[in-house]
Every structure is written in C-alpha cells, then in structure tokens.
C-alpha cells in the first residue's frame, strides 16, 4: 500500500512565491488598465461593479474547465477536447431539459423531466468522454495530444449530428435557474474550493503531482499510474460537462458550436497561473488568479474599445509569453538544482 504522506508534493514555499508573483502581475495589469481608462476614456476601469461582474461571469464557465485542465497538465498531459465536450454535453442536457408541453420542444416525449435527469445525463456523458481519453492515454500509450485531439473532433461531430446541427432552446425554469445571475460564479468557486483541497490534502492530489514530476518514480513507489491517469481525465471530462450545462443554462440555448476554443482559453488560464506544461507543478489557486488575469485582459481590451481581431492576436501573444515564462522558470530551477 502506498503511503501518500511519503510521496513528493509541490514545495509550498515555492508555490506560494509563484502565486504571489502572479498576484503582483494581476495588480500591475489592473493598474495599467486603470491609468489607460482615465487617459483614453476619462473613467475608471475598476470602479464599475457591472463591468467587473460581467467579466467574472464571462470567465467563470471556462474557469470550471480550467480546474480540470490544471489537473491534467500537472499530471504531465494535455486536454484539447474540453470545448467539444462542452458542446456535446450542452446539447444532450438541453434536449432533456425541455419545458413541459412546449410545442417546439425538440423531443416532445422527453419534456417535463425533473432537472436532475438532464444534469445527471450531461455529467455522465462528460465523464464517459473523459474516461475514454484516460483509457486511450494510459493503456494504449497514445500521446495525450493525439488522444484528446481525436475526442475533440469526435465530440464536436456528435454535437452536430445529435440534432442535425439545429440549436435547442426553451429549457425548463429549473434548468434555466442553474445559470441564472451569479450562479455560474458560485458554481466555479465551489468547484475550485473542492479541488484545491483535493489536490493539496488527498492521495489523489499527491498521486497526480507524483506522476507529473516523474511517472517512473511514481510507478516504482507503488502508484497505479494508469488508473490514476484515467481518474484525472475522467474528472476533466466531468468538469467540462458541468461547464456545458452551466453555459447552456445561462444562454437558454445549446448549439453544436458551443465551447469552441474554450480548451485553449482554459489551458492559457492554467499556464498564466503558473502551472508548468512539463508537469508536476501548479496549484488551483494559481489557476484561479490566472483566470482573473485572463478576464481582466479581455475586459480591459473591450473597455479600451480595441477591435476583436486585435484581442485575438494579443491573446495568442499572451499564451506564448506564458509558455516562454514557464520554460524560463524551469531552466532557472534546473540551474539551481
């Protein structure tokens, strides 16, 4: 039996310093937008609750995905299927959440079901998709990039086939309640708190870090690496499904293209938050700060009335810069070692 307390864990001092540095970056970015706001717009960027609440709402759904992606990256993998799983599970859940007796319901025989059914079926679909990713990666040794790329294409194709490309709308009031108001933010905070504790204090978390740091050493220490990888990708799929349910509930509709590019945004949040792409390092708290940084940047660009195509280009630059910074941190640590 593996002793979880004996396994390597991220150095808390190093992790705390990294999180502090990321927080300082957030403060600096906020200060820059605040100054530019007064110069160009004659108003404050930060002192506007409506703008800040919209910003948090916009990134909270992708933040849920980022919590799962963080665990995948810590384990030394990558997940490109998150956005497609969002689209597929949103379609499935919304099709079962049709308002009772509504004449335009997609599946009239399934209208009026208790809200727990579409939610449970949607979560199960995401869990299955994530488990398939994990099984392919763990037992067939397919690189995570290829396995999850295959799931990305398959899940998106399923979402289009499910209703022949037609959107599904008009959910029940109970389903619509899930994404109402600030509920997505509350769901994100609950998910983040749960997995902060799980990664820091449980065997699941210690095993995840151990595999990312050195899979061979983890195997020698008695960890069932394959089983743990399946769990990690299953959790990522489950959280992508939860995001799909939340985003479809919030928008009161589900479309096959829903969730496009969410996977890249989630990866960017994690990497900006200090999660190492080489595995073995990163925290949920860092990802949460990275999520806020991501949201502040996008909201700041909109506030400054920067055209959308410029926003996309700058977003790409930010992702590359975050990866370069990660490579630099790894080289610096290796020299110290």
* pLDDT tens sequence across 160-180: 999 888 899 889 999 999 999
Phi, psi of 168 (to 5 degrees): -120, 125
Q: What is the mean pLDDT of residues 23-38?
A: 88
pLDDT tens digit string along 179-216? 999 999 999 999 999 999 999 999 999 999 999 999 99
Integer CA distances (angstroms), 18 to 2, 65, 174, 267, in order: 29, 22, 41, 18
User: Tokens 């506030």 correspond to what residue?
Assistant: 303
pLDDT score at 118 = 95
Residue 170, Cβ neighbours under 10 Å: how many?
17
Note the pLDDT tens digit of each residue in 274-284: 898 888 889 99
DSSP string, 260-272: TTHHHHHHHHHHH
Q: What is the pTM of this model?
A: 0.89
Contact predicate 41/304, CB 8 Å: yes
Residue whose tokens read 């499910």: 162
Give me the CATH code for the 4-40+48-330 domain, please. Answer: 1.10.3470
pLDDT in tens, 102-144: 545 555 556 668 999 999 999 999 999 999 999 999 999 999 9
**Exposed/middle/buried for 64, CB within 10 Å: 0-12, 13-18, 19+?**
buried
* pLDDT on residue 103: 44
- pLDDT score for 102: 52
pLDDT at 152: 97
Q: What confidence category does residue 5 fall into, taking pLDDT thresholds of 50, 70 and 90?
A: very low
Pairing of strands 168-169, 253-254: antiparallel
Question: Stretch 291-318: mean pLDDT, rounded?
Answer: 83
Q: Which of 166-180, 217-231, 297-311 comes out lowest in average pLDDT?
A: 297-311
């Amino acid at each position: 039996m593996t002793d979880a307390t004996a396994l390597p864990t991220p150095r808390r001092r190093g992790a705390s310093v990294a999180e502090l540095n990321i927080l300082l970056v957030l403060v600096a970015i906020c200060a820059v937008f605040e100054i530019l706001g007064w110069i160009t717009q004659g108003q404050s960027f930060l002192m506007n609750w409506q703008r800040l609440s919209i910003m948090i709402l916009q990134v909270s759904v992708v933040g849920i995905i980022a919590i799962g992606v963080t665990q995948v990256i810590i384990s030394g993998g990558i997940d490109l299927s998150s956005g497609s799983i969002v689209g597929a599970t949103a379609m499935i859940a919304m099709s079962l959440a049709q308002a009772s007796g509504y004449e335009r319901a997609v599946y009239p025989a399934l209208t009026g079901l208790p809200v727990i059914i579409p939610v449970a079926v949607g979560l199960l679909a995401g869990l299955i998709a994530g488990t398939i990713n994990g099984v392919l990666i763990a037992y067939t040794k397919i690189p995570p990039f290829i396995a999850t790329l295959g799931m990305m294409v398959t899940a998106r194709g399923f979402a289009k086939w499910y209703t022949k490309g037609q959107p599904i709308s008009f959910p029940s009031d109970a389903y619509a309640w899930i994404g109402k108001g600030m509920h997505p933010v509350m769901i994100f905070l609950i998910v983040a708190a749960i997995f902060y504790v799980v990664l820091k204090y449980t065997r699941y978390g210690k095993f995840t870090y151990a595999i990312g740091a050195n899979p061979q050493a983890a195997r020698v220490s008695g960890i069932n690496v394959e089983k743990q990888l399946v769990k990690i990708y299953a959790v990522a799929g489950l959280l992508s499904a939860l995001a799909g349910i939340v985003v479809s509930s919030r928008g009161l509709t589900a479309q096959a293209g829903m969730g496009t590019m969410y996977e890249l945004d989630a990866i960017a949040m994690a990497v900006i938050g200090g999660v190492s792409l080489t595995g073995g390092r990163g925290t949920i708290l860092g990802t949460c700060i990275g999520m806020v940084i991501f949201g502040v940047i996008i909201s700041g660009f909109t506030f400054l009335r920067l055209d959308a195509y410029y926003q996309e280009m700058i977003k790409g630059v930010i992702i590359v810069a975050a990866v370069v910074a990660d490579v630099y941190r790894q080289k610096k640590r290796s020299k110290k070692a």
